[in-house]
Amino acid sequence: MQRTGKLAVLGAGHVGPVIARLAIRAGYPVAIATSGDPDDIALITELVIPGAQPRWASDAVADADTVVLAIPLHRFLDVDPGLLAGKLVVDAMNYWPASDGVLPAFEDGASKGIGSSEIVARRLTGSAVVKALNHIGYHELEEWARPAGAPDRRATGLAGDDPAAVAAVAELTDRIGYDPVPLGSLRAARVLQPGGPVFGQVLTLPEFERAVYEDARNLR
């Protein structure tokens, strides 16, 4: 089975720090990076993500087993796929034209029913890509994290083409506080993206399964 091991979170905006905090709380070693100098985020990291290591993105990725992409999709196009080769990549990104602008590759994909993570994976041919942690807003993601077995625990979906990678990310999401719901191949990740039945929702496991059932059964 693939290991999630050490995490590199790329992106220190809204959702990156939340994922980093939850992962640290769950016992993962975490480095966090922007596209710039880690010194620029050193103080804020110490204050809001205690325990995370601010690093240059390339160094954080080189030392990591798992890389969480928590950057705007239009900025992803600047990331060198070679940097991520051999890594387990968690795609927490969404295609959001209002903030990303219209991105022809993703727009064209959407018109053909191809999900954004499938397009991300086509670019990252050397990585195992799993879509996860994209469909819950950053405030709620932190607020609703619960230990396994908590009666009000919520669910989060994930999808990917590599079963070992999906299992590893399911373990990560479980440890950070959510019931993982593997939906199948990366094609199924479309139910997690904007316009899908669970996007922006924080649902219990039965609610989540009910919400995706109609979509997911045709997507496996």
Ligand X SMILES: NC(=O)c1ccc[n+]([C@@H]2O[C@H](COP(=O)([O-])OP(=O)(O)OC[C@H]3O[C@@H](n4cnc5c(N)ncnc54)[C@H](OP(=O)(O)O)[C@@H]3O)[C@@H](O)[C@H]2O)c1
Quick one: 90 or 151, whose CB is closer to ligand X?
90
Does residue 11 touch ligand X according to CB under 6 A? yes
CB 28 to ligand X: min, Å: 18
69/89 Cα distance (integer angstroms): 7
Among 7, 30, 61, 73, binds ligand X (CB under 6 A): 73
Q: Comparing C-alpha atoms, which of 198, 199, 181, 191 is closest to residue 218?
A: 191
Report residue 211: phi and psi, to 5°.
-65, -35
Pairing of strands 7-10, 179-182: unpaired
Among 5, 29, 137, 163, binds ligand X (CB under 6 A): 137
Choices 13-21, 43-51, 102-110, 167-175 (CB under 6 A): range interacting with ligand X:
13-21
**How many C-beta atoms surround the C-beta of residue 30 within 10 A?**
26
Q: Which of residues 76-115 bind ligand X (CB under 6 A)?
A: 78-79, 92-94, 96
Choices 11-19, 80-88, 155-163, 171-179 (CB under 6 A): range interacting with ligand X:
11-19
220/217 Cα distance (integer angstroms): 6
Q: What tokens does 197 get?
A: 């039945």
Does residue 53 touch ligand X according to CB under 6 A? no
Does residue 14 touch ligand X according to CB under 6 A? yes
Q: Report how far Cα 72 is from the mean position of its chain's Cα atoms.
A: 12
Which chain residues interact with ligand X by CB under 6 A?
10-16, 33-36, 57, 70-73, 75, 78-79, 92-94, 96, 134, 137-138
